[in-house]
Amino acid sequence: MLSPLKFIAIFCAFSFSFAHAEVLFEGYYKIMSAGNPIGYTISKYEFDAKSKKFISTYFLKTTGQGAEITESLKAFAGADLGPISYSYTSIVGKETKTIDAKFNGLKMTAEVKEAGKTKTIRKDLAKNTFLSTFLVYVMLKSKEGLKTDSTYDYTAIAEEDAESYKGLASVGKEEAFLGLKAFKVQNKFKDVPFLSYVNERGEVLGTTSVAQGVSTELVADPAAATKNFPVSQGILKSLFGDVPAGKTNMVSKSSTMQPANPGKQEGIPQGQGIQIKAEPPAAKPAGK
């Protein structure tokens, strides 16, 4: 019988490799409960110009909630952020759950393995449904972009249970967070309200869920997130292609460079974001 860690390693080994994809974001987050560190998350977003696919990869490790929890996700979306496929794995204690989902237009087929049983979910999706991991990109690609006083009603798939839910995100004013300017975004998804701080590039600098008593914070140095927690370089290499350096984000960059004008905020204008080089100028998306 496979151990949970061997299982996740095999899952990672079968993940697709996009060696030439452009890295849009990569960073480490520390996870805290009641002000105490309980784990970490590693997140990476890429765009593959050749296949015109967005790629989201994340890995989570936490010792909170009374049990060690490991999660991983590899998700793919088209240039319009429509869902293509994803593979999700969670290990809670000794219990393993995997979901492999594929999409054909507005139809989803997902194979779920849990507690020694396998079931197949087939579901028709509402128009414009997307994978929840790409929420900020969808907001930035919208007509309004990401700006103060914008509101976004959406339907997204929660990757952890292969189910779609309605959500609402409201963008507030910019304020200082981790020494950088960030929009304060109030979000509600799966009936759980949470707060995110998102900069103009679409980078999530931190989140807070009062209901769950958990917060996350993007860190400049990976060790600040992973200290005192297990890190498997083998699993990370299999999932991400290599061990993420966690440097493709503004928190890391701002910690290593001295700005020429301390009073000037580094970033891009509101409503604009990442440039997808594979698309013509008229179809530039607004970012992450």
Residue 266 CB neighbour total at 10 angstroms: 16
Q: Tell me: the pLDDT tens digits for 43-68?
A: 999 999 999 999 999 999 998 656 79
Is the entire prediction scored with pTM above 0.85? Answer: no
The Cα–Cα gap between 146 and 180 comes to 16
Q: Distance between CA atoms of 77 and 134, rounded to whole angstroms? A: 8
Contacts of 103 (CB under 8 A, 6+ apart): 82, 83, 84, 85, 109, 125
Contact 216, 33 (CB under 8 A): no
Higher pLDDT, 213 or 76: 76
Tens-place pLDDT, residues 185-204: 999 999 999 999 999 999 99
Higher-scoring residue by pLDDT: 283, 25: 25
Confidence of residue 211 (pLDDT cuts 50, 70, 90): confident
pLDDT for the residue numbered 67: 72
Dihedrals phi, psi of 143, to nearest 5 degrees: -60, -40
What separation in angstroms does the CA of 142 have from each of 78, 115, 137, 284, 286?
15, 40, 9, 11, 7
Sort 157 into a burial class: Cβ within 10 Å, 0-12 / 13-18 / 19+.
Answer: buried
